[in-house]
Amino acid sequence: MGKIAFIYPGQGAQKIGMGKDFYETKPNARRIFDEADKVLDFDIKNICFEENELINNTKYTQAALVTTCLAITKEVENLGIKPDVAAGLSLGEYAAIVAAHGMTEKEAIVAVRKRGIFMDEAVPTDNPKKAGAMAAVLGMETSKIEELILDIEDVDIANYNCPGQIVITGLKPAVEKAAKVLNESGAKRVIELNVSGPFHSKFLKTAGEKMSVELEKINLTELKIPYVTNVTGEYVSDISKTKELLVKQISSPVKWEQSVRNMINNGVDTFVEIGPGKTLAGFIRKIDRNVKCINISTVDDLDKLKEISL
């Protein structure tokens, strides 16, 4: 067998009920949720398990999603499955660093709670012309998208997800202008995303600066396995680089396709997507159909891992 990667979804994967079956039936997972409740200023179980509108508010989403991913990870590891490398899309990178033993669950949960608040504060809500937006561009070559938006001010690429899916970000008028240009130039579809701001753009630099101060409070520990950073798509084995990369990550494009190709080139043939949804599995199928991707979002999904743990 080749190498195993643990991979974690980003914001947008969250859903009501995520992790509830793990909390109710798995003691290791329950402990992560209970510990999160002690360090957060809101009831994590209400946000994750009960019907509410706050779950899609970035101030709450980030801590809720990372807590869920880390709780599920405990039960995957309990089966004796260990990754050779870890990676996460945007927010998911914090869970990946925990999986690589670079920070504790508690530190990651507290950090992303602050991250969500800082990102929310960076987005203006009282001036429509300064409002942010993001849009997924489907069915167009990456190089052509880059060329077409090059001269459109205040819009950039946010995510290199997979072949045929790029996300653009920026001020709403600029994103709308870019969407029109891309549609007229042959994009299959341009879909505006339901987000509250221009994430992974220069407009989030103030959030990154605030996050830098917060990260200085954390004593990171030596990595036991490498993780892959969104900023470059490269392996990180030196924990001293992590804080700077996490600061840059907030306002830099997410190089997910590059990250996955790098892991495959380094011998990964099995990806275990940990957390709600199957977004990353969908991306990986479009990147390379020859590798396996197993999604673990429910207790029943743990059965999928039996062949790995044999």
- Bridge-based pairing state of the strands 268-274 and 3-8: parallel
Q: Which two tokens stand for residue 103?
A: 């920070």
Three-state secondary-structure class, residue 153: coil
- Bridge-based pairing state of the strands 155-162 and 165-171: antiparallel
Tell whether the torsion through CA atoms of 119, 122, 128 and 132 is positive or negative: negative
Q: Measured between alpha carbons, how far is 74 from 86 in angstroms, rounded to an integer?
A: 14
Q: Which two tokens stand for residue 186?
A: 């042959």
Residue carrying the six token digits 């949804």:
277
Across-strand partners of 132? 171
Burial classification of residue 56, based on how many CB atoms lie within 10 Å of its CB (0-12 exposed, 13-18 middle, 19 or more buried) = middle
E-assigned strand segments in the chain: 3-8, 85-88, 132-138, 155-162, 165-171, 189-192, 227-228, 235-236, 268-274, 292-296
Determine which one of 90, 196, 252, 259 is catalytic: 90
- 191 Cβ contact list (under 8 Å, min separation 6): 135, 136, 138
Going by C-alpha positions, the residue among 64, 62, 36 that lies closest to residue 50 is 64
Active site residue 200: yes
Going by C-alpha positions, the residue among 69, 3, 28 that lies closest to residue 225 is 3
Determine which one of 101, 143, 185, 200 is catalytic: 200
Residue carrying the six token digits 């009920």:
17
Q: Measured between alpha carbons, how far is 54 from 14 in angstroms, rounded to an integer?
A: 11
Active centre residues (catalytic):
90, 200
